[in-house]
């Protein structure tokens, strides 16, 4: 097959961007591959000093633009109907100054949140459709909270504040790896020495409510749902034994029960119960589940009440904890597992070990470039003094509590979390 010239490739990309074919828009896996290939190309061809300008200036300006457009209710105004809007119509809806609004529309076009149909008409970009919901647009700016001037940061939120305070904390500690969850960048950012992240979170109910609104609206994209990475039918549905337990899957630390809801919708034939567990105030606020599925209050540091389930599942929980508390959590799960029958599925980012080579990650091992894993690792460092783990670190941690590490199931989407599988061997 002949290769496209660079000029032909650029023309092809422009054509796909302006008028994407249905075969692309209807295929999430293909869209993800194209996105990551384009990002790899951007990183390879970006010239100095563009990377520094993009990271230190452009990304901050994009957040300012996004927040301001939310506060002006510009995105919901664009989403009121499918008809493209003029500047005059948007001024009438938002009551904003025409000159100011035009500047932020121009910024939105360049940052990708707004599409210019022609020189006079604008629509909300499909990639930002979530912000067309007035409740979500209203919640996003409420991430931000004022903090003490001691940090030399004007304002911060649970994500931004932690990121911005991290360099200052590391400088203060002589660039030591954070190990104390009560002395992290989050405590510095919010002037809350000695308070656990959860305490800081619940002390700011408006921000906590806003974050919950955003997370509920976002849900879990299909490519990041467990059934698209781990072969549930072959590995779990086949071989399910109701006489052991009627619980098919127990989602521990389930939050708003999105996993259970999405799994039941995607695979309605799954036998037995799907159970969503979390702390009482958290699980109480989650939407109701249809029978036979259920919500259950549970602290994962205490005895697991459901014994011999086919699978115990945790999604993006254990990266909040350093090794010792993680071992305590895993021991509680191991105690409830049936040897040779129950499985433990840990749905987490798996970061590459340094010097591990290079591959696309589809079959495990090797280096897989994953910007979200890197972002999450730095976020965990600043918020919880914890970290994302490598495949070898997961295997070692599971072995220390008597569980057998079986495999890491890597997703097709390189930005998604992987599924670490462990089992409990029968005692000889």
The set of catalytic residues is: 319
Bridge partners for 46 per DSSP: none
């Amino acid at each position: 097959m002949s290769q496209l010239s660079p000029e032909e490739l650029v023309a092809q990309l422009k054509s796909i961007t302006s008028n994407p074919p249905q075969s692309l828009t209807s295929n999430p896996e293909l869209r993800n591959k194209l996105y990551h290939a384009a990002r790899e190309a951007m990183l390879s061809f970006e010239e100095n000093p563009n990377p520094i300008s993009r990271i230190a200036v452009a990304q901050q300006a994009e957040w300012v633009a996004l927040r301001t457009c939310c506060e002006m209710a510009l995105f919901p105004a664009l989403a009121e109907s499918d008809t493209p809007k003029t500047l005059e119509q948007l001024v009438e809806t938002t009551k904003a100054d025409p000159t100011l609004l035009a500047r932020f529309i121009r910024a939105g076009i360049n940052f990708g949140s707004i599409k210019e149909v022609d020189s006079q008409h604008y629509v909300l970009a499909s990639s930002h459709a979530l912000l067309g919901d007035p409740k979500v647009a209203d919640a996003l700016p409420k991430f931000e909270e004022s903090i003490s001037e001691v940090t030399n940061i004007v304002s911060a939120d649970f994500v931004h504040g932690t990121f911005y305070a991290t360099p200052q904390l590391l400088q203060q500690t002589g660039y030591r790896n954070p190990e104390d969850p009560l002395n992290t960048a989050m405590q510095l950012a919010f002037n809350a020495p000695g308070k656990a992240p959860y305490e800081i979170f619940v002390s700011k109910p408006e921000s906590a409510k806003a974050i919950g609104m955003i997370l509920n609206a976002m849900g879990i994209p299909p490519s990041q749902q467990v059934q698209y990475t781990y072969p549930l039918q072959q590995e779990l549905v086949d071989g399910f034994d109701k006489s052991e337990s009627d619980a098919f899957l127990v989602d521990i630390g389930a939050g708003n029960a999105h996993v259970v809801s999405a799994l039941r919708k995607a695979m309605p034939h799954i036998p037995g119960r799907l159970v969503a567990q979390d702390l009482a105030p958290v699980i109480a606020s989650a939407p109701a589940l249809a029978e036979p599925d259920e919500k259950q209050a549970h602290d994962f540091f205490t005895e697991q009440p459901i014994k011999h389930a086919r699978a115990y599942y945790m999604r993006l929980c254990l990266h909040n904890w350093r090794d010792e508390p993680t071992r305590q959590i895993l021991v509680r799960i191991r105690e409830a597992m049936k040897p040779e029958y129950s499985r433990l599925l840990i749905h987490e980012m798996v970061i590459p070990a340094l010097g591990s080579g290079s591959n696309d990650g589809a079959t495990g091992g090797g280096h897989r470039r994953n910007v979200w894993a890197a972002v999450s690792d730095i976020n965990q460092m600043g918020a919880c003094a914890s970290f994302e783990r490598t495949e070898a670190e997961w295997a070692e941690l599971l072995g220390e509590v008597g569980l057998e590490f079986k495999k890491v199931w890597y997703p097709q989407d390189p930005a998604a979390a992987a599924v670490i599988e462990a089992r409990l061997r029968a005692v000889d």
